A and B are shown apart, each in its own frame.
Chain A
Amino acid sequence: MAGYFCCQLIPSAGAQSSYQEPDYSKLKPESGPLTLEVWTWVAGLDKAARLFEQAYPDIKVHVNNVGAGSVEYQKVQTAIKAGSGGPDVAQIEYDFLPSFIVTDGLTDLSKYGVNDTKSFFVPWTWGQISPDGKTVYGIPQDSGPMALLYNKKIFDQYGITVPTTWDEFAQQAEKLFQATGGKVKLVDFVPTQAPWFIGLAWANGAELFKAQGDSWTQSLNSPECQKVLDFWVDLIKKKYVATIPDFTPEFYNAVGSGQIAASIEAAWGPGVLAASLNDKTSGEWQVAPLPQWSKGQPFRSGNWGGSCDVVLKQSKFPKAATLFCLWLNAAKGPVLSNWVSYGIFPAALSGLASPDLNQADKNPGKFCGGQNVAQVYVDASKAVNVDFAWSPWFAFVNDDFNKQIAALISGSMTAKQALDAWQEDSLKNATGDGYDVKGK
């Protein structure tokens, strides 16, 4: 099977570098005409699907947004259990992928030779979709290395400097609080998105789950996690940061009306914000590297979100579906159009290296005053710990985080108690579900 997909060099018009793509012709789809059902919440993916239909006229692609994240997962889980009714292709975030792997409902794409396309993708994203290095459960779509998105206009107005360490971050949060009488908060501590917090803990060297043979360890209350949460609890208590649930009208209103001056965002964040704010405050923003714990340390970031595209076992056209997943995430057209305008940060290496990612007149570059946003996130992407793994019971862990943080914010728990309770609840759920898992 070696060399099944040989490299194909396609000279890209207008750019000096060459964009490398796998040779899709090695993957023969079922004979058409056929229609693929694709579930995703990526805005504008239907446009990429039209490009695919032009390249493969026998395959029609029906893009269906059945809800973002958990809303979609619950539908996919139900369809897998029912044995029918699911899509051919579904978007799944890396952190939730193991909970689908254990259902045995996903096609192992390695039988179609996709292992030979491994070299086209960011190494750590391939590790997420192929935990054992052989079986392949999906094709990486995007990743979410984290950085600090800040409103330069507000920073300039109050003389706030861009923090490079978390100590400076806390000082600037206090300064902004004093200068505005608490009306403007430096950032929002996201109380209902466990992966946001986990991304910050990830940047501090935390690893939450480890599979060892047939058993697991889970360490949600490790010192690395506690250091991060302690830091934030202090800022929350002093009211230097907001605690508004993300992805709500309330959050976008607070950001758009200047009540929040900055936001710790994954690579896809600026694009989502630009779209959700309808270009309000467009051009006022800048992206800076994630603050670090100490000045001299090697630069580190974490990851929040990022998805792959999986093919369900119940799909009648698994080869066509695999072809679509591969093409969507490796071909130059969709990879660039997903970033430009929609801010989906590519998992394809050629995509990341492409100078065409930098387009000052289109979002997310336009939202950030023409800055080369992708470059900041490419640097962050290289600073993400590649060994980080998730667990099949993460859906519970994810929701239980909200419970502990609600208790933490209302003052009925300390940071340590909240993390201990998070660890304990999650262990109880996992063992109750038959997993051999120990706390660490």
Chain B
Amino acid sequence: MRRYRKTAYLFLTPFLTVFIAFYLAPVCYALYLSLFIRKRIGVGPPKEVFGGLANYIRAVQDTDFLNGLKNMFVFGVVQVPIMLGLAILLALLLHQSRGFFMKICRTAFFMPYGIPTAIGALVWGYLYSANLSPFNQILQALHQGKIEFMAPAVVLFSIANIVTWTWTGYNMITLFAALQNIPGDLYEAARVDGAKTWDIVRRIQVPLLWPTLKVLFIFSVIGTSQLFTEAFVLRPLGYLADNITPNLYLYLTAARDANYSYAGALAILLAILVFAISGPFIRRIASR
């Protein structure tokens, strides 16, 4: 038994090396940094002094950060169900149909996932510009005014649209693969029992997709908490609030304001929050 354990660690070494170097070590460093605060005397460079939990206390009172978290929740509650709903619908439709056209559709839906996020966001940034946007040009041709995609009240949903565009295809393919794994005799048995298509969807396919859906849901929740690239790329094109997503806010705290210790505290808090939300789901899946 002990010998096997040694072998196991040997096999795990490549993974563990990378995991420790690029994951655990930075997390520990952020944790360490977050315990310091800056003291300034005069105009010179600041001194980093031990501040205990001062950065964490500042964070939970920071309305900008808290509003960033609120944006994250609004985003998750609106976007994740829409995206997963669309993905189920498309997967079921693709599973139901055969033929060349459907194969093209499958590839087309999946394609946005293959485009780097930054490039996708750049193209969407162009589509969102108030006057150049083809959407607005069509609307104006029909005398319907125009949509200010980058307006402060709208832009979160404009970002949600980009994320949905990128990730629906990915989720669809995963669900589609799960559907392929449902044994054919289940369908046959259902048909023999007189089940209509809708019954098969409701009683067989959706229940058997449930475990896959839960995993996709967790991935989406974690993805929501990490939203950054879309907002970062759209930012120079207009006004996007610093705290439109928590990740952008903590990036600006570090890279713009050079306040790495406070940014470290924000990152740790965000990670704890995401663990708290997704942890129970992961445990339930694992216990099955």
A214 within 8 A of B: yes
Residue of B nearest to A402 (CB): B239
Q: Decide: A245 near B258, CB < 8 A? Known: A434-B38, A434-B40.
A: no
Alpha-carbon distance between A81 and B33 when the two chains are bound, in angstroms: 12
User: Do B131 and A250 touch (CB < 8 A)?
Assistant: yes
| Binary per-residue interface labels of chain B (26-57) against chain A in the complex, 1 for a CB within 8 Å, 0 otherwise | 00000000000111111111100000000000
Q: Decide: A104 near B44, CB < 8 A? Known: A405-B239, A432-B58.
A: yes
User: Do B44 and A399 touch (CB < 8 A)?
Assistant: no
B162 → chain A closest CB, angstroms:
18
Residue of B nearest to A104 (CB): B45
Alpha-carbon distance between A403 and B235 when the two chains are bound, in angstroms: 12
Contacts of B212 in A (CB 8 A): none
User: Do B239 and A191 touch (CB < 8 A)?
Assistant: yes
| Binary per-residue interface labels of chain B (48-78) against chain A in the complex, 1 for a CB within 8 Å, 0 otherwise | 0000000000100000000000000000000
B222 within 8 A of A: no
Residue of B nearest to A400 (CB): B242
User: Do B257 and A250 touch (CB < 8 A)?
Assistant: no
Alpha-carbon distance between A81 and B44 when the two chains are bound, in angstroms: 15
Contacts of A249 in B (CB 8 A): 126, 129, 132
User: Do A436 and B40 touch (CB < 8 A)?
Assistant: yes
Contacts of B99 in A (CB 8 A): none
Contacts of B132 in A (CB 8 A): 249-250, 253
Alpha-carbon distance between A399 and B236 when the two chains are bound, in angstroms: 11
Residue of A nearest to B260 (CB): A81
Contacts of A253 in B (CB 8 A): 131-132
Residue of A nearest to B255 (CB): A74
B152 within 8 A of A: yes
User: Do A435 and B260 touch (CB < 8 A)?
Assistant: no
A395 within 8 A of B: yes
Contacts of B252 in A (CB 8 A): 399
User: Do B256 and A396 touch (CB < 8 A)?
Assistant: yes
B241 within 8 A of A: yes
Contacts of A213 in B (CB 8 A): 42
Alpha-carbon distance between A78 and B259 when the two chains are bound, in angstroms: 10
User: Do A214 and B42 touch (CB < 8 A)?
Assistant: yes
A102 within 8 A of B: yes
B151 within 8 A of A: yes
A160 → chain B closest CB, angstroms:
22
B237 within 8 A of A: yes
The number of residues on chain B lying at the interface, defined by a beta carbon within 8 Å of a beta carbon of chain A, is 32
User: Do B239 and A102 touch (CB < 8 A)?
Assistant: no
Alpha-carbon distance between A73 and B258 when the two chains are bound, in angstroms: 10
Q: B237: which of A99, A248, A410 is its contact (CB, 8 Å)?
A: A248
A410 → chain B closest CB, angstroms:
7
Q: Decide: A102 near B38, CB < 8 A? Known: A70-B256, A81-B258, A399-B242.
A: no
Residues A381-429 near B (CB distance < 8 A): 392-393, 395-396, 399, 402-403, 405-407, 410, 429
User: Do A102 and B131 touch (CB < 8 A)?
Assistant: no
Alpha-carbon distance between A102 and B238 when the two chains are bound, in angstroms: 29
Q: A245: which of B38, B237, B254 is its contact (CB, 8 Å)?
A: B237
User: Do A433 and B38 touch (CB < 8 A)?
Assistant: yes
Contacts of B58 in A (CB 8 A): 432
A211 within 8 A of B: yes
Q: B46: which of A192, A410, A434 is its contact (CB, 8 Å)?
A: A434
A281 within 8 A of B: no
User: Do B239 and A395 touch (CB < 8 A)?
Assistant: no
A254 within 8 A of B: yes
B268 within 8 A of A: no
A77 within 8 A of B: yes
Contacts of B254 in A (CB 8 A): 78
Q: A254: which of B37, B41, B131, B255 is its contact (CB, 8 Å)?
A: B131
Alpha-carbon distance between A433 and B257 when the two chains are bound, in angstroms: 9
B178 within 8 A of A: no
B270 within 8 A of A: no
B130 within 8 A of A: yes
User: Do A102 and B46 touch (CB < 8 A)?
Assistant: yes
| Binary per-residue interface labels of chain B (64-108) against chain A in the complex, 1 for a CB within 8 Å, 0 otherwise | 000000000000000000000000000000000000000000000
Q: Decide: A102 near B241, CB < 8 A? Known: A250-B129, A250-B131.
A: no
Question: Which residue of A214, A244, A395, A434 has the most chain B CB atoms within 10 A of its CB atom?
Answer: A434
B259 → chain A closest CB, angstroms:
6
Alpha-carbon distance between A244 and B132 when the two chains are bound, in angstroms: 12
Contacts of A435 in B (CB 8 A): 40
A103 within 8 A of B: yes
Contacts of B259 in A (CB 8 A): 433
Residue of A nearest to B148 (CB): A410
Closest 8 CB pairs of A and B: A104-B45, A74-B255, A434-B40, A406-B239, A214-B42, A250-B129, A402-B239, A395-B256
29 A-B pairs in the complex with CB atoms less than 8 angstroms apart = A71-B236, A74-B255, A81-B258, A81-B260, A99-B258, A102-B43, A104-B44, A192-B238, A214-B42, A245-B236, A245-B237, A248-B236, A250-B129, A250-B130, A250-B132, A250-B237, A253-B131, A253-B132, A254-B131, A395-B256, A395-B257, A399-B242, A406-B239, A410-B151, A432-B58, A434-B37, A434-B38, A434-B46, A436-B40
A residues whose Cβ falls under 8 Å from a Cβ of B: 70-71, 73-75, 77-78, 80-81, 99, 102-104, 191-192, 211, 213-214, 244-245, 247-250, 253-254, 392-393, 395-396, 399, 402-403, 405-407, 410, 429, 432-436
B residues whose Cβ falls under 8 Å from a Cβ of A: 37-46, 58, 126, 129-132, 151-152, 236-239, 241-242, 252, 254-260
Sample of 15 further A-B pairs with CB below 8 A, known A73-B256, A245-B239, A392-B43: A77-B255, A77-B258, A99-B258, A103-B258, A104-B45, A192-B238, A214-B43, A248-B236, A248-B237, A410-B152, A432-B58, A433-B38, A433-B257, A434-B39, A436-B40
